[in-house]
Structure 1
Amino acid sequence: MNYRASADQTINTSLTYSNLTLSGSGAKSISGALTVNDALTISGTATFSNSTYNVTVGGSMTNNSSAQTFGSGSFSFTGTTISGTGAMDFSSSTVSFSGSNITLGSGATGGNLTFSSVTFSNDNAAITIGGNSYAGTVTFNGAVSVSGTNASLTVSGGTTSWTSLNMSGSSSSATFSNTSGYNSFSSNATFGNDLSISAECDVSGTLTVTGDLTISGSTGTGDNTNTFTGLVTIAGQTVSFLGTNTLDGGFSHTNSGAGSSCTIGGTFDASASGTTTTISAATVSLSGTPSFYNLVVSNSSGTFTTSASFSIANTANFSKDLTATGYTITFGASAPASCMLGAGEIIGTVSRTLGAASSGAYDFNGSNTEFLIPSGEFSGNNTITMKLVKSAPDAQAVKRYYDVSNTSNPSYQPSSSARLQLEYDDEDLNGNIEANLKMWYGTYGSAGEGGFSLLSSSQVNTTTNIVWYNFPGSFNFKWRYTMGESTKPLPVELTVFTGRLVNDRVKLRWETATEVNSYGFVIQRKNSAGEYEEIGFVEGQGTKNTPSHYVFYDRDLPMQGMLMYRLKMVDRDGTFEYSDEVEIAAAPGSIGLKQNFPNPFNPRTSITFTAPESGPATLKIYNSAGKEVATIFNGTVEAGVQKSAFFDGSSLPSGTYIYVLQVGSYTESRKMMLVK
């Protein structure tokens, strides 16, 4: 049906229309409830008003005429697209949508749409705002309610302006991807499940998301630049921020379950005075340029990392360590002295500016890592930095060290009322006896193995796990500091060292009860000149609190009656101690070639010989056909000195082999059996 007169017309509302077109010119009005099962179209220069009654539209409503302002009646849409080139103002009307597929604003030339309070009630409502390159503005001057359990909202084009939005469905989802426009909320926005934002979005009230929050986009200015004036609360498992985000009302991610994660990147500004960012996720990852006023990370499990330096204006309360290796966390100049409130530490660099009015114990990498200064210590601003690394800089040190500096005054010497306090964990002790811990210092930025000196007046508190040092008033501040025992223990507690002659070889055996940073054992034998020389090395066990057993065979024995041995026990820092000597009576060995051992063999065997004269010597292997298959010794020997060589028959078949010793004019041979 088409009402196309060039004058005012009253629509017959006693009829139910399939499609209704209002064209021509003049005002088209109704005197009762109007039902259009499919499309309602306004065209030409016609206008349509509804001041009292209900209009039900089952399909689309299109305005290709001039701008339309509808009266205070009501509109019930059961499934529709509202579009057209002309603007439509429903702000005085009561509007409800019960259909499952709804589009508001469509097409590049689509007109603006204005609503007041709107309800979307279909359990599976799929709402699209700004389809087909829509460039207009959709405005909601009242509260918008989307109650469907599985409802979805997609803002893909144009600009939207909201008063408040409550999307309560537990399986609902909302996406704002209208990058050519922007979105603004003058009050609160609540989402019952997931929210994704890749376009500019400003929320003046609170933003509450029960599901996951994903904010994506470039970090460039103007591309996905979002401002959240009220508190942002996210209960979902996953939160991700990119783009430029300003959170002036604070931020809270309340999900602490296994697999929960919070990723903050781009420009993230949560530094408004008095606000708190609280993150309960198991995995927390920071990058970009974040800034905070108060930062709370409350989950003690999982990981907390940053790949960027950032600032905290006031306090940090971490339940787990922040891994910030290579980066700096800067506390505000007005931050309280006790700015680290939790059990977690910052593994990285912490920077604080202390001024003329500063006094007290100032936290750095942890709540017990402090620099205490008296009133008047500084005449102006001084930037103090402490870098914590959790590894042992010296084999005898605990598994942590601190690089400490006054970057404003590198030659600064603290007054005699100043104190440096460092903390440690029990798992950092690295074999040190806790009650004997002292502070040690070395060259800033580089001190390593053997490069530390003792601060003998430092003290330890084993209950609170701290070591502190009171500066004497004439000692530089800029050092690398660590902790360790005041005296270094011997690397090895040797309990047994014996030796005996076995088959023309000396078998040395020793046992240790404990080892601390043991590098190994150098085996030494006294030569004919009465001096000890190295004949072998056996690797140690590092640090071990249970017994260890070692064996070494000396096969190249000199032809003498008594042999003297000792062990050189070497620590990983290069220090060493000698064992007691062991004396072994060695009967003179017989001249010539000995039977291999073991025999038969598979696949390796040892052959020992003692040359009757000095000079070149060879020891060769032949098969039963007389073909040479290997040369296992080719060198110079001394008369009377026993030698050993090994033969590996891995590549040869089973059978009888002959080994032949040739020393000058002296020749001797024996048989051996390879059995596989």
Structure 2
Amino acid sequence: MPSSVTFSNESVTVDQGNGNRTYNGTAFNTTLVDQKPGSTTTPAFDINTGNLILRGGSVRTTETGTYVVNGAFLDYNVYSPSGTTVTTGTLQLTQAPNPSGGVRDFSLTSGTTDLIRLVNTAGAGYTLQVTFHATYQENGTGIPSRANDTNTYNARFDVVGTQTPAPTINPNTIQIAADNNTTGTSYFFPNNPSATPQYPNYTFTSSTNAGGVQGAFDINNGQLRLTNTTVATTEAGTNTVTSVVLYYRTRLASSGGGAYQPITLTQSGPTVGGTRTFVIDPNSTTNVNNQPNLIATPAVTAPGNYVVDVYYQANGVNSTTGMTFSVAYPPTGSYSAFFTVAGTPIATTIWTGAFNDDWFNSANWTNGVPDENKNALIRDLGAGVNVPYPNINSGVVVYVGSSTNVAYDNTNSGPAKVRNFTMGGTSQAQRSIARLVKGQLQVFGDFNNNYNSFVQRENTIIEFAGVSSQDNSMPALASNPVTQVITGGTFERVDISGGGKKQVTGVMNISESLNFLTPDLYAAGQPNVVRPNPVTALAANAGVLYTDVSVAPPLSLPAIVLADRGSSNANNGAQINGETDLSFLYGYVTTSRAQVGVNDPRTFGNIGLDITFTGVNAPGKVDVTRNTVEAYSPVVGKFGIRRIWGVRPADPNTNNGGLQATMVFHYRDSETRNLNGSTTTMPGVGTIPEANLIAFVSTNSGNTFGALGRDGAVDVTNNRLTKTGVTAFATFTLGDQNNPLPVRLTAFDAKRFGKNALVTWQTATELNSKGYEVQASTNGTEFHTVAYVASAAPNSTKLTNYSYEDKTSYSVNTVYYRLHQIDLDGKDAYFGPRTVNFDGKAAASTAVAYPNPYNANDELHIAVESNDAGKGTLRITDMTGRTVREESIELNKGLSDMPVNGVKELKAGVYMVRVTLPSGETKTLKVVKQ
């Protein structure tokens, strides 16, 4: 019986700009596909913004005899007006369910092609040609065959305009720092051939001549850091660059390579004429040690000649089509430079547990017992393996091995020692274990405990004893190298010695104490404390323990966590001991104390804040934090010390008259110097005389402060300041009574408002206030006054909201706004700046909420720009969709600025505000109640 496959019901579906249109085959074969009305001003397709998207089609196949169709496809070709092929392709169609009687229907369910994006010149008479084909098998088996539809469908379309140039990426320099140089040298790419030195084929050298090899980097501690780069991108039309990534890798010169590591760059400054400049995050480049050390990458494992490869990729999106793009530099491959590594790698010994669980038994290690010059690796031994993990019992007369029940005498073992200590594993379920059971462990290198599998028992000591002669006083700390890296974990007693900067990259939970082993603590005769050997640290310098406060909370914020009262700390809570100006915790520490009562003095782990609640109400549990990296400087020239506390009582007793306390603030001398930097973390040149210190409190995250003052004079000998009768508990710091932190402004913001900018601010109090100048800048440095707004009253103690709509037409996309507050007596202060981006098309109407977020002390306002005057509505819903507030509003043509009633009483959370305009148009805003 003859067999065949026939086609019918052919159709083609295209999206012409604002909706799909389906043509049957015959109609498509005679049509001129024009841009849909309303998409552009011309019926032809604009070469940059037009949309002619082939979304596929549908076809029916009919099979007879023994043939079975198993697939159908749409084939397409685009021909230029001159008849040359522009593009060709195939889209697979999807079969509809339940075929019957040999009839099968196929249609496109995924996969699209934007034809205008494939055209590179304008012209009339482009042709889109579509055919269909199917694959089939006889009796459903064997090699598939192809059956072609005899019909060919052609449609014509026209393209107009001049194609916008494609985005480009143009790296100018890459900066590499050798031997811990804090600035590094700029190396240029081939696009700047007159500059030297050139990065491609450059050889980096060290001044150390490691291993007798001139210019080689030491394999153990060599420094060759990728510190910065400068990349320019260009764009035009609707193609927008959204990110640039630098990819780098190291490899042996004789090796083909390996995986690249990415560094996402940060845009520096505004976009000017479609040109953007990208650099490595400016906040991280302040410390050269935060950038990748090419000597410490996984590929560098032995002496030899190495290559560092780099390339760049700019990524973006077309705002019209939504399609993404990537542009690489160089277009293919990468650029390479060279360096040499020499020296003898530090020896590593690996735990085998071949004999028993005794750390000090060399038979349990592949390369002998670890010491201060030998790394130790505790591998994950795997499930079902009956091999013991190590137990450290140092200075113990009798130790009974867990696997042999044989008694060992470790009386003269001394403390366990190790250079880099690595706990192996890949997850919480697959990890190694090591236990400090008795005595002391000294770690002289990095401590890698990624899965918190190191166990420390009570009454033991782990000492981070990496030796350094660096001076840790501010501001030199920022440029000092990291002596040790500690991933964190759960500890009892932690001692810090040796000097240098020891960085905690995770969370360090401490149950008993954190001790900086200055000479005073050595002299105290603490049991089992061994002074670091060799002793090369500065006098009175045990080192600095550092946590990076710039890492985003809550999951990844490195922190020191001091435990509450318990048996392991004699019911005193974990304590910090021995901090001096040269040895201290530089970072973030937090602790909680439960059941804090009235007249119950608490030092909160000796973190520098003593609180005794003296009123009639008890706070219950109290959380306290301390940050010694940042210093507030919310307005120009007004700043606090480099120490910030957060106090959060669990029960503020606001319905019972609140809380009251006496607070004693402690500080270090160096925290009163090198202030007023360009950011909260950067050192500056500002100083606060100790005698001028007073306490400040902020209830809005450091935006503005209330001056608490102090009782009596500052105890400059013991670095202590006391204040009684404190009733507000939030964010505290110390500042200068003669140059106080801002106490008037509670909010300041600037947002895009249609084609204009809306500048808003709110004051809680005004004293002797004349008014405010709204100032703008197109470059962030040179400001001019665009408006003057007089104070509502020279003296006021109530919330007052101000706003100004700047209708100036600027020639740049980014405008900077700041506020200049002027007193009647001529005193002034600056706030800001805030940035407004005018890139993209402006909405005809818009709405803005301010301040946002807001709290119970703020007055929430809605500013609305409407094309029509008349009545509207305002509805507020919570995140479950429940309406919590609804009211009618009267809107002006143009700007309307109005308070929102009844929102101070709402619970903290996220709410949606829906504004309906007189025209029926709606605007939806998200506001946050803190």
Greater C-alpha Rg: 1
Select the structure with the greater relative contact order (CA < 8 A; seq sep ≥ 6).
Answer: 2
What TM-score does the superposition give when structure 1 sets the normalisation length? 0.30
